[in-house]
C-alpha cells in the first residue's frame, strides 16, 4: 500500500506527463513562425534604373498591403510621400531594403541592394542581413516586394512573400526563396505551400 505522500507524487507525475502529451499533440507555441531566408530576385531582362523595395510586415498589416491599388503604389513611390521612409525603418532599425540598379554598385551603402544597371544579375536580400533581426522582433510573417510601376515593364501591385517556415518546408532546400521578375509580372520560381495552422 502506498502512503499519501507517494500517492500524491504519483498523481503529480501522471498529471505532468498528461500535460506534456497534450501540449505535444496540440503543439505548444504551434503558431506559424518566421523563417530566415535568402530572398533572391531574378530578372529575365536587364535591370532598368528602377526602384524596388522589400519590406517586412506582420499578420495585422497583410490586408492593408494586399489591397493596395496601382494608385497606392504610385503614392508610395511619390517623392513627397512619407510612407516609404517610415516603412523602411522601424524604431530606428531597418525594416526593409531598397534595390537599386546603378552604374557602380560598390558605391552604395549597406541599406541598398545594388545591382549593375543593364545587367541581369540577381538582387539578393541575404538571410544574414540585419533586417531579419528587426523582422523577428516585430513578428514579421511576410516580405512585400514593391516596384515603381512607372518604370517600363514593372509589376503594378505589391508581391507578398510568406515567411512562415511551414510554407517553405520541403519546397526549398537551400534557404533561398527565388522570385522572378520578368517584364510586367512577378512570380515565385517555386511556389510555397498553402497556409496551415502548424
- Which pLDDT tens digit goes with each residue over 140-150? 999 999 988 76
198 domain residue, yes or no: no
For the CA atoms of 38, 44, 50, 56, the dihedral, rounded to the nearest 10 degrees, stands at -30
Q: Across residues 107-126, what is the average pLDDT?
A: 84
Q: Do 116 and 22 share a structural domain? A: no
d(CA 187, CA 179): 6
Q: How many separate domains does the chain show?
A: 2
The tens digit of pLDDT for each residue in 19-38 reads 554 444 444 457 889 999 99
Q: Do 162 and 67 share a structural domain? A: yes
Mean pLDDT of the chain: 82
Indicate if the pLDDT at residue 87 is higher than 60. yes
Q: Across residues 78-88, what is the average pLDDT?
A: 88
User: Where do we find the cell 517600363?
Assistant: 152
Secondary structure (3-state) at 87: helix
Q: Highest mean pLDDT: which of 70-79, 135-144, 150-159?
A: 135-144
Residue 8 contacts by C-beta under 8 Å, 6 or more apart in sequence? none
Q: Do 81 and 22 share a structural domain? A: no
In the chain, how many H helices and how many E strands?
A: 6, 11
pLDDT of residue 25: 43
Distance set, CA 17 to CA 2, 25, 35 (Å): 20, 12, 30
pLDDT of residue 23: 45
Secondary structure (3-state) at 155: coil
Residue in 152, 146, 188 with CA at minimum distance from that of residue 171 = 188
pLDDT of residue 126: 94
Q: Do 172 and 90 share a structural domain? A: yes
Q: Across residues 127-135, what is the average pLDDT?
A: 94
194 domain residue, yes or no: no
The tens digit of pLDDT for each residue in 35-71 reads 999 999 988 777 766 788 999 999 999 999 999 998 8
41 domain residue, yes or no: yes
Q: Domain limits at 172?
A: 31-188
Q: What CATH number is attached to the domain comprising 36?
A: 2.60.40
Amino acid at each position: 500500500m502506498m502512503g499519501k505522500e507517494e500517492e500524491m507524487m504519483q498523481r503529480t507525475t501522471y498529471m505532468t506527463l498528461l500535460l506534456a502529451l497534450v501540449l505535444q499533440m496540440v503543439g505548444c507555441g504551434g503558431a506559424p513562425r518566421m523563417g530566415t531566408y535568402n530572398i533572391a530576385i531574378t530578372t529575365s531582362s536587364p535591370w532598368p534604373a528602377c526602384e524596388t523595395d522589400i519590406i517586412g510586415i506582420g499578420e495585422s498589416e497583410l490586408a492593408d498591403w494586399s489591397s493596395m491599388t496601382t494608385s497606392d503604389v504610385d503614392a508610395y513611390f511619390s517623392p513627397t510621400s512619407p510612407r516609404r521612409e517610415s516603412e523602411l525603418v522601424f524604431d530606428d532599425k531597418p525594416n526593409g531594403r531598397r534595390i537599386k540598379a546603378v552604374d557602380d554598385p560598390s558605391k552604395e551603402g549597406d541599406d541598398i541592394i545594388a545591382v549593375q544597371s543593364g545587367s541581369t544579375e540577381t538582387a539578393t536580400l541575404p538571410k544574414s542581413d540585419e533586417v531579419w533581426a528587426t523582422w523577428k522582433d516585430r513578428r514579421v510573417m511576410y516580405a512585400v516586394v514593391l516596384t515603381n510601376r512607372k518604370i517600363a515593364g514593372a509589376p503594378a501591385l505589391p508581391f507578398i512573400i510568406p515567411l512562415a517556415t511551414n510554407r517553405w518546408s520541403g519546397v526549398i532546400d537551400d534557404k533561398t526563396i527565388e522570385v522572378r521578375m520578368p517584364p510586367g509580372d512577378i512570380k515565385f520560381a517555386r511556389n510555397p505551400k498553402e497556409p496551415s495552422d502548424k
